[in-house]
Amino acid sequence: MTKEKRNRAWYGKQDRDGFIHRSWMKNQGFPDHAFDGRPIIGICNTWSELTPCNSGLRDLAEGVKRGVWEAGGFPVEFPVMSLGETQMKPTAMLFRNLLAMDVEESIRAYGIDGVVLLGGCDKTTPGQLMGAASVDLPTIVVSSGPMLNGKFKGKDIGSGTDVWKFSEAVRAGDMTLKDFMNAESGMSRSKGVCMTMGTASTMASVVEAMGMSLPTNAALPAVDARRMALSHMTGKRIVEMVEEDLKLSQVMTRAAFENAILANAAVGGSTNAVIHLLAIAGRVGIDLSLDDFEIGTDIPLLVNCMPSGKYLMEDFCYAGGMPVVLSELKDKLRPAKTVLGGDIMAYADGAECYNDDVIRPFDNPLKPAAGLRVLRGNLAPNGAIVKPSAATEALLEHEGEAYVFENIEDMKANIDREDLPVTADTILVLKGCGPKGYPGMPEVGNMPIPAKLVKEGVRDMVRVSDARMSGTAFGTVVLHVSPEANAGGNLALVKTGDRVRLSASKGALDLLVSDAVLAERRAAWQPDAPHYTRGYAKMYVDTVLQADKGADLDFLVGKDTRPVTRESH
C-alpha cells in the first residue's frame, strides 16, 4: 500500500482549507492535476547576488525543476537566508544557525514531501543540512560548484590561498601593490565557490562522501554544463526518494559521518568541516565528538589541491573527482546507504584517475598522514585542532614564549609594530574570537606574521586561538580552543611571556604555568562586556554551544518530525 504523501494535508482536502491552499497556488498558473497527490518537491535555494559563490543557483534550480517534472513530481522553489562568506560582517558563521532555523521552519511549515538543498558557500551547505536534518524528509544536495581556475601572469592562482601569499609578499616588499591589485580581477573568473580546497569545496566533497549528493557533485565547475545535467538528474532522483520514503536520517548515519571524516583527511579538507559535522550530527541525533576525528589521523593526503597542495578544483574534476578518491579509500570506508539507495562504494564504480599527480594513489600519497589532529591539555581541556597537511612540519612539535593579543583589535593595532617583542620561536596567542567572544567565531586564527619577522623571511609561526581559519588558509595554526576565552577557558588566563607547548604527535596543547598561578589569575578574571544586547545576535551569544559541540544553539540540537496539524485560517 502506497504511503500517503505529506502534501495531502495541505492540498488534498475537499474543504475550505484545501480550497485556500490550492487556489492561491493556482495564481501562478499551476493546473488542477499538479495537486493530484504527486510528490511536491521543495527546492531550497540560497541564491543571492550578495553571495557570489551561490550566484549560479538560479540556473541550477531550473535544472532541478526539469528533472522533478520528468519524474512526475511538482517542483516549488523557495528562498532562504543566504550567507556570503566574503561579504558578511562580523562573520558569516554568526548566521549559520539562523539559516538553519530558516531552513527547518520553511520545510516544516510548507506542504512539501522532499527537498533539494541548493547551496555552496561555506556556511550555506552545513546550515541547510542542519535545518533539513531537524525535519527529516527525503533530502538531497546540489552544490554550487567551484569557480574556474584563477589566472595571473600566465599562471593558475587560487582564491584565498594566494590572497594570503600575495598579501604577505606585499608586506615583505616582494610584490608590488599594482600587481596585487591586478591579481584581484584574475582570481575570480566565473560563478562558483573558491576553487581551492577551502571550506565550500570541502563540504561539497564530504557531502558526496556521505552519499548525500549524486556522484561527481563536489568537483564539477559551476559553469560546466554537466552540473546542470546533474541538477536535472537530482530532480529526478528526489521524486524517487519520496516514493521510496528514503529520509535524510537513513543516509546520514554514523557510518556516513565516519566516511566524511576519512574523506576530509584524504582531500586535505578544511578545519571548518569539524565544527560543521559536529553540528549536523547533533541535529540527526548522532553522538559525534572531537575524538571521532582521530579515525582520520593516519589517512594519507591523496588530493594535491591548495592549500595543502598545488592544484585547484578544476584540475581535481578533470582528474576524476571524488569517485576516484572513494575508490582509493575503498578499504577504509564504512558500508553506508546513499541517496541512490545503494552503498557508498557504488559511487566509486568505474572511477578512473586521469592525472595521478592531482589525485595520488593510496600507496603514493602527497603526505602519509593528513588527518586533522585533536589537541588537549590545560590550555584546551575540551579540545582544539590543528591541520598538519597545511602546517610546517618542524613547528608541529614546538615550545615557546607566548605573545598575547587580548582581542582582534589589539592584534590589528600591534601586529606590524617594529618593536613588537617577538621572534620566529614566539607562539602568538589570540583571545576573544570564539563563538561568544567575537561573536560568531571568525576566520582570523591564521594571524598575520608580524611585519618585522616577515622582513626577515619568516613565513610561518605557531598561532593559537579560539577562532577558526579559512579552509583556503595555511600555516601551523591551532584553532577552536575550547572552552573559549570569553567562556572562561584557560585561554583567557594566558599572559605574554608564559611558555606554551604544542605536540601534534601527542595531541597535546599545554600552558606551562602552575595550577596555583592559574587559580590566582582566574580569581581576578572578568568576562568582557557583551558586544550585542538585542536581536538574534544576543540570542546567539546567550545560547551558543562551544566549538567542540559544533557551535549550534543549545535549543536547536535534535529534531522534531511531528506533523503540523494546526491550520492558519
* DSSP-based three-state secondary structure for 213: coil
Reported as a single tens digit per residue, the pLDDT across 201-246 is 999 999 999 999 999 999 999 999 999 999 999 999 999 999 999 9
Instruction: Find the mean pLDDT for residues 117-132.
Output: 97
Q: CA 259, 85, 171 angle in degrees (round to 5)?
A: 105
Q: Is the pLDDT of residue 532 over 90?
A: no
State how far Cα 257 lies from the chain centre.
Answer: 14
159/376 Cα distance (integer angstroms): 32
Query: What cell does 514 get?
Result: 602552575
Instruction: Please report how many Cα atoms fall inside a 13 Å half-sphere around the Cα of residue 180, on the Cβ side.
Output: 15
End-to-end CA distance of the chain: give it in Å, rounded: 32
Residue-wise pLDDT for 457-489, tens only, equals: 999 999 999 999 998 888 999 999 999 999 999
CA dihedral 475, 297, 321, 50 (to 10 degrees): -50
> If 0-12 CB within 10 Å is exposed, 13-18 middle and 19+ buried, where does residue 394 land?
exposed
**Is the pLDDT assigned to residue 371 strictly greater than 90?**
no
What pLDDT does residue 2 have? Answer: 64
**Residue 487, all three cell numbers:** 567562556
Which of the four pLDDT bands, split at 50, 70 and 90, describes residue 148? very high
The three three-digit cell numbers of residue 381, written as one number: 581541556
**What is the distance of C-alpha 51 from the center of its chain?**
15
CB 479 within 8 Å of CB 467: yes
Calpha distance 416→406 (Å, rounded) = 16
Which residues have CB under 8 Å from 459's CB, separation 6+? 168, 449
| Res. 1: pLDDT tops 50 | no
Residue 426 phi/psi, 5-degree rounding, is -65, 145
The residue extents of the domains of the chain are 38-149+189-348, 158-184, 373-528
Could you read off the pLDDT of 343-367 as tens digits, one per residue? Answer: 999 999 999 999 999 999 999 999 9
- Domain 38-149+189-348, second-level architecture: 3-Layer(aba) Sandwich (3.40)
Question: What letter does residue 140 receive in the DSSP assignment?
Answer: E
pLDDT at 180 over 80: yes
Between strands 74-79 and 40-45, the pairing is: parallel
Top pLDDT among 189 and 528 is at 189
Instruction: Tell me the CATH number for domain 373-528.
Output: 3.50.30.80
d(CA 531, CA 541): 9
